[in-house]
Amino acid sequence: MRTLEIGRTGEKVSELALGAMLFGTTTDEATAQRMLDHFLAAGGTHVDTANCYSWWSGPQYTGDESEEVLGRWFARTGRRDDVFLATKGSARIRDLDGVWRDGSDEPDSALAQSRYEGAGAQTLRDALEGSLRRLQTDHVELYYVHVDDRSTPLEETLEVLHSFVVEGKVRHLGWSNVRAWRLERVRATAAANGWTVPVALQQQHTYLHRTAGLDHASIVDDEQLDYLRANDDVTLFAYTPTLRGSYDDDAKWATNWQHRFFDAPANAARRALVHELAAEVGCTPNQLVLAWILAQRAPRMSAITGVRTWEQYEQNIRAADVELPADVLERLDAQP
């Protein structure tokens, strides 16, 4: 598996990252550990999780599950040093009481979001210590502010994050679900105070166009892409790049709850082109979209493949071996 450098740090990770969001919930532990074993055998190094994954999978879950599964895998295999491990804080739900409505299999998302733990200094310190305990490790390679918290003074958040690096508990910093102007302020404030500057950005990104006028801080827009091209010392890690596998399945796409985020008229032609070129290249549409992300050079980016089943994992991991010819990339990029 090819590698890419994070910013200009000299730190290289596998281009394709394994998203562990569903480990221990909708992905049972045996399957999760099988994925981890195979991912490392295939040359993968970058594994991504968070301290809230994934409470929304059902009322019986707390958000501890993914990190706990990873911790047990590290203990079983002794392969902690072979993994570039990323986790996150700030989006854990402080209190899940009442979040699951009676008789509903869907949580109250608005209520849950109002209870994000936030990015205060003591909150993040407690969050990191909890993550390290569950992961059965004394450090992580990359630590994100999971959801940008504008209610906490930025200096407070950045100073405590810097202290994690000084203490050796974190190697690099990142930010997620954040607008371009805010990311610039985060990085400029850190630099001005001599604190560790974030070098990773985790946002949703895919081949389809965003819905026109969409007000959404978590999906890459043109301004953010322009910022990344001008600042190659920060790298984009794209999550949900295949829109939960719906490039392969028109029926799944039609019922995808994210449809409203990518409801641009041009996207019908873009989806059709993905299917056409996938047939020419000899891969699935999902694999083609992943390979397109991995082939980007301006800016460079990685794809995080978050999967539920072994079959999904097997399909997505093969995208790392898909080489898109120059003319295919040109046709994808030329499509309005």
180 in Cβ contact with 208 (< 8 Å):
no
Query: In this model, does residue 256 exceed pLDDT 90?
Result: no
* Greatest C-alpha distance within the chain: 54
Which pTM does this prediction carry?
0.97
Q: What percent of the chain has pLDDT over 90?
A: 95
State both tokens at 75: 């203990």
Sign of CA dihedral 159, 160, 165, 167: positive
Domains and CATH numbers, the chain: 11-334 (3.20.20.100)
Distance CA 195, CA 242 (A): 35
pLDDT by residue (tens digit) across 142-189?
999 999 999 999 999 999 999 999 999 999 999 999 999 999 999 999
pLDDT by residue (tens digit) across 279-335?
999 999 999 999 999 999 999 999 999 999 999 999 999 999 999 999 999 999 999
**CA quadruple 118, 121, 126, 131: dihedral, nearest 10:** 70
Q: Residue 116 — pLDDT band, cuts 50, 70, 90? A: very high
Distance CA 69, CA 28 (A): 9
Task: Give residue 85's identity as a one-letter amino acid code.
Answer: L
Q: How high is the mean pLDDT of the chain?
A: 97
Distance CA 241, CA 300 (A): 15
Query: In this model, does residue 103 exceed pLDDT 80?
Result: no
Mean pLDDT, residues 69-80 taken together:
98
Beta-carbon contacts of 258 under 8 Å, excluding residues fewer than 6 positions away, are: 240, 243, 244
Query: In this model, does residue 102 exceed pLDDT 90?
Result: no
Distance CA 198, CA 213 (A): 28
Q: What is the pLDDT of residue 177?
A: 98
